[in-house]
Amino acid sequence: MTRSIRLFLSLILVHAAIIACVPKDVVNPVTPPPAPVTPEPEEPDTPGGTASMTICTFNIRYANTADTYPNGSSAAWSVRAPAVKQFIDTAKPDLIGLQEVRKEQSNFFSSSYFNSEYGYYDVCRDSSSGSSVANAGGEGVGVMYLKSRFELVQKDFFWLDNSTRQIPAKNADGTYGAWNSACRRVTVYVVLKDKKNNDALVYFFPTHYDHKSADARKNSAELMVSQMKALTKETDLKNSSKLIIHVGDLNTTSDSSELKPLNDSMEYARLTGSGTDRNSATFNGFGKSSSIIDHIYYGCKSLKPGKYWVEGSNYGLPYLSDHNPVLFQFEY
């Protein structure tokens, strides 16, 4: 082989080697693993978690046989009681404040109709010892709380008067106490551990302000603020570390100067809550009148307002009472 041929063959081999070293497009046959998914954080099982709650205030109208609906049919308690039970079974509020409770109504709310689910406590406004309406008769204020959710820590009461621990005396003019209320007025309250929210303490204060004396209502609002601060040991109710709730038939509208102490010190569910019932009447007079006199006030720095509504569903009767139940749902 001549030298020129050997050189030519060498050049061919070198060229082939260079081509073999040039990279080609490569298709990776292995599917890469998916990007890691960060799991949603679970609710902490420590203080700082949140829980949803629904509260209710309801003046049930005292038991009598004379009340009628506009069509003339009876609105007696015996007629309304099954519908009231249906409402509670349907709405299932966690906490309920009741006003105008009479003996047969006290027996109803503490009976087997409810006591498998709800704890119950009421106080007769005319009992010097704070006896239940079921035992003392007369009229009073009551509390219902879901036993599956709450553990009762304390239950107690105080009168709406200068002397909160002494029954108001009857005055010569027929009024009661230093504030000349048309009736004795009482607040009941419970302190509860919320088992759905790390045993957080809940303070619930249902009441019924006087229906005639404006001075008594203003004094009642001032007293409620001072009592709630003292009993909860919180100086700033709006920014309380505890959940504090005050509900009831306060017998005046929220814009009244009589409720200024509450409006200055607490949040007002009708204005902070969502929904379309902000201007819906809470007092209906069995269809004969209307006004907004049943209220829900609260304080808690971690509370997130949800829905506010005035119950108007059909439970087989025109009205459950001469007042509509008022409800407020929130997280805290």
**For each of the chain's 332 residues, which pLDDT tens digit applies?**
544 445 444 444 434 443 333 333 333 333 333 444 333 333 333 345 689 999 999 999 999 999 999 999 999 999 999 999 999 999 999 999 999 999 999 999 999 889 899 999 999 999 999 999 999 999 999 999 999 999 999 999 999 999 999 999 999 999 999 999 999 999 999 999 999 999 999 999 999 999 999 999 999 999 999 999 999 999 999 999 999 999 999 999 999 999 999 999 999 999 999 999 999 999 999 999 999 999 999 999 999 999 999 999 999 999 999 999 999 999 99
Compute how many other C-beta atoms are within 10 angstroms of the C-beta atom of residue 79.
16
Tell me, yes or no, whether 22 lies in a domain: no
Q: How far apart, in Å, are the Cα atoms of 197 and each of 51, 242, 332?
A: 6, 12, 9
Domain count, the chain: 1
Residue labelled with tokens 């046989």:
65
CB 315 within 8 A of CB 87: yes
Domain membership of residue 261 (yes or no) is yes
- Show the domain range for 257: 52-331
- Report yes or no: 271 and 278 within 8 Å, Cβ to Cβ: yes
User: Tokens in use for 235?
Assistant: 């100086």
pLDDT of the residue at 103: 98
Instruction: Give the whole-angstrom CA distance, residue 213 versus residue 175.
Output: 10
Question: What integer pLDDT is reported at residue 23 of this predicted model?
Answer: 35
Report yes or no on 11 lying in a domain. Answer: no
Give the C-alpha separation, 100 to 91, whole Å: 21
> pTM for this structure?
0.85
pLDDT of residue 310: 98
| Contact indicator for 153, 170 with CB cutoff of 8 Å | no
Looking up residue 168, the CATH number of its domain turns out to be 3.60.10.10
Domain presence at residue 8: no
| 242 located within any domain | yes
